Structure 1
Amino acid sequence: MSCTAEKKQTLTITNPLAVERAEVLSIPYTDFKQIYNRSEAFRLIDEKNKEYTYQLEKGEGDSTQNVLVWVELPANGTITLQVQPGKPKPMEARTFARYVPERFDDFAWENDKIAFRMYGKALEGRPDNAEGADIWAKRTDKLVVNEWYKKGDYHKDHGEGMDFYDVGMTLGAGDIAPYADGKIIFSKHYREYDVLENGPLRSMFRLKYEPWEVNGKKVSVTKTISLDAGAQLNRVTAVYTVEGADADRLPVVAGIVLRKGEGGQAMKLTDAKVAAYWEPAHGADGTLGIAVLGESPIDSITENNGHLLAHFTATSGKPVIYYNGGAWDKAGKITNAKQWEEYLRNEQEKQEHPLAISIK
């Protein structure tokens, strides 16, 4: 029997940027097991005995793939965490996603900042049919999707926010579609869904679409969308399957519908891989900022078909990855086009300079 004391390993997280960061950190579970390779529950504690909340993420796998941790770091700051056996403190969910059969097969999701929905099969053919991504303006950190659907009065602001975004037959707030002969080639609405994660720090789901014709090719798509606590943007992974010639080159666009009226500002931030829009004011409802940020290379950003379009080239079976989302001025955090651009540039910089993880 060995009398050697077990060495306590620590997890050190460093912010390499000169800006404050509050975000969900994803630690690969294979790395995390170097610190804690036991089956029982655990707590994450820093040097000041502060406990950090976490989520074990399976995602698209059958077992835990990542440990998601909510962290807040100052500019160029560092925190050190130890793992201790024990039941973690309760955490209120900050993200949520669900299928909404009571509203024509909607799929809705949200976090503590913003909410979204995509449209399902039952909406097709109706006078109120719409195509792209819808966004709901929020000014509460509460999760409101269930309550708003139950009351059915979410087109009025009762102090928490509202849905005043008009999607129509457009890509709305950053949906993606093939692009051929200068036109957006819309699919029908999603046919299948699968909730992969549902909080408390990240919700993730998959939407599947049936094949349709695109410029002589048979095309289908699966979209996997995730939203983290504290984020204004979703991460979207679109995988197209293409049958026919030139399957390695399918032009696609992630687009933002442009509005009539004064005060709107479209921003083509090619250096930051961002297509952004600060809408004209919607009367007393306020103003929304909408954006598409590329993780996959953006070929170009143009204004066509009443949209601001981020152009990508999809290859059959391989993902196109980008971010979409928005911000509402009445939420009080981002209140004008300049602040929206600054937020997006910071997000792009964070992607290029992720938090550093060291195990000692």
Structure 2
Amino acid sequence: MRYIKTPALLTALMFTSFAGLQVMAQESLTVTIKNNLGIDRNEVVTINSKDITGFLKGKNEKDIRVKNNTTGKMEPLQWIDNDGDKNNDELLFMATVKPNSSAIYTLVSDASVPVPVSQITTFSRFVPERTDDYTWENDKVAFRTYGPDAQMRTEQHRENGTLSSGIDIWLKRTPLPIINKWYKGYLTDPMFYHSDRGEGYDPYHVGASRGTGGTGIWEKDSLLVSKNFVTYKTIAVGPLRTVFELSYAPFSPYQVKETKRISLDLGSNFSKFEVMHSSAKQVPNYATGITLHQNEGEAEVLTKEGVFAYHEKIDGTYLGEGIIMQPNIIEKAFVNKSKTKDQSNLIIVTKASPKLTYYAGFVWEKSGQGANKADWDALLKKQAQIIKSPLTVTVK
């Protein structure tokens, strides 16, 4: 009998020990970030929540921390619920990886260690106090576009109206957030953010143009475009990524319905546009572009690389705008100069598809991020490489 019981006991002990090891194995996860490019990378990376389900079981997401194995410090992080079902879909953190190398991070659950907080952040919001802009920013750039009240004001010939689905850019030269501060100034001085008080300003004219990254349909040597957005949905504010959606009323004879999902990561000069389309009739194409303003700048059309740039000066200071996309979706790209106000644009025409993805951004000399054409071309080239070869994330 003793012979029989001993193996049973040993088996039970072995099972218990093995189960304990399984539990211990889920107390932390190793995350390896690999950089296949010969450049330094400092970017936001994403872990799908489904890939860490076992680790998260029995834990509070608020207690999750990301440890940098190189520095030993905890990194800022962000959870995102992409579909609004009140369950987080992604965990984000900022990864730093040397050229052609890997970096190791560890996920742990430790409520005793605070999540690092910084004033440097992404941000976006609907702005009812300035008619109804939607504005977004990070530590490098800021953008805005216009809503239905601004459209109605224009159509009713009232003040403060704007009729445009173009994308405006705000030239900031501070890493700190400026949206709330500039709009607060606007309440007492409508020209507040059109003057540079040391943090930047908005001298950029959009009008009916595409601004930097507005969309349309190219037909019979002209652009068919939507009016202002009609609804918005803020999905995430920050601190590492802001995400939101804008929807537009049907436009053109094709009755195109358009929803833009726009995101901006900390540290990037480029907003990511994911534009979803549907239409009553088959459309010939979808297009995006960059305003040429008074046609005094220099446009670059690198269709084979999927890189498009415009170099100009505003108030005597260099400004470079750009759009990047996968080359295989492009039908043609060209400079369209027009005598009609706001109709001169660098236009990229893409194949008609339910979804169009591209990146639009800029650099301003006074921001210290780039001073001339060569600097902006280098940033565009780097961003194109990053898009083509994203950091790979492995969780074990």
TM-score calculated relative to the size of structure 2:
0.84
The letter for the 1-side match of 2:125 is R
Partner of 2:222: 183
The structure richer in helix per residue is: 2
User: TM-score under structure 1 normalisation?
Assistant: 0.92
Structure 2 CA distance, aligned partners of 1:351 and 1:38?
36
Structure 2 CA distance for partners of 1:14 and 1:271, relative to 1, 3 Å: same
Out of 47, 59, 64, the position equivalent to 2:82 is: 59
Q: How does 1:212-227 map to 2 (within 5 A)?
A: 212=251, 214=252, 216-227=253-264
**Which structure has the larger Rg?**
2
* Range 15-24 or range 349-358, more displaced: 349-358
Once residues 133 and 394 of structure 2 are traced to their aligned partners in structure 1, the CA distance between those partners, rounded to angstroms, is: 42
Is contact 1:130–1:170 with CA below 8 Å preserved after alignment? no
Question: 325, 333, 352: which is aligned to 1:294?
Answer: 325
Distance 2:58 2:247 in 1: 36
Q: CA separation in 1, counterparts of 2:98 and 2:208?
A: 43
How far is 1:34 from its partner?
5.0
1:113-164 deviation line (CA, Å, top 9, x unaligned) = 1111111112221565242110000111111101001102101111111101
Query: Who is 1:211 aligned against?
Result: 250
The answer to whether the aligner puts 1:105 opposite 2:132 as a matched pair is yes
Whether the aligned pair in 1 keeps the contact of 2:216 and 2:287 (CA below 8 Å) is yes
Which runs of 5 or more structure 2 residues have no equivalent in the other structure?
A: 1-12, 187-191, 337-342
CA distance in 2, matches of 1:308, 1:261: 10
Q: In the superposition, relative to structure 1, how do residues 293 and 38 fare at CA in structure 2: closer, same or farther (>3 Å)?
A: farther
Instruction: Give the number of aligned pairs.
Output: 350
Deviation string for 1:182-233 (max 9, x for gaps)? 1111212111111011111111111111112x2x322221111111111111
Residue 243 of structure 1 aligns to a residue in which SS? coil
Q: In structure 2, what is the equivalent of residue 123 of structure 1? A: 150
Question: Where do 5+ consecutive residues of structure 1 fail to align?
Answer: none
Q: Tell me the SS of whatever aligns to 1:347.
A: helix
SS of the residue corresponding to residue 96 of structure 2 reads strand
Give the partner amino acid of 1:340.
Answer: W
1:278-335: per-residue Cα shift (whole Å, max 9, x none)? 11x2225x222111111472222111141101111233xx211111121111111111
2:301: which partner in 1? 268
Letter in 2 for 1:319: K
Instruction: Say whether residues 1:81 and 2:119 are aligned partners.
Output: no
Pairs within 5 Å for 1:1-360: 2-4=16-18, 5=21, 6-7=24-25, 8-33=28-53, 35-40=55-60, 41-47=63-69, 48-62=71-85, 63-87=87-111, 88-92=114-118, 94-124=121-151, 125=154, 126=157, 129-131=162-164, 132-152=166-186, 153-212=192-251, 214=252, 216-244=253-281, 247=282, 249-260=283-294, 262=296, 264-279=297-312, 281-284=313-316, 286-295=317-326, 297-304=329-336, 305-315=343-353, 318-360=354-396
Paired with 2:333 and 2:54, the residues of 1 have a C-alpha distance of 44
1:223, 1:84 → 2: CA distance?
Answer: 35
List per-residue Cα deviations over 1:32-70 (Å, max 9, x = no partner): 335544432111113231211111111235222211111
Higher strand share: 1
Alignment partner of 1:310: what SS? Answer: strand
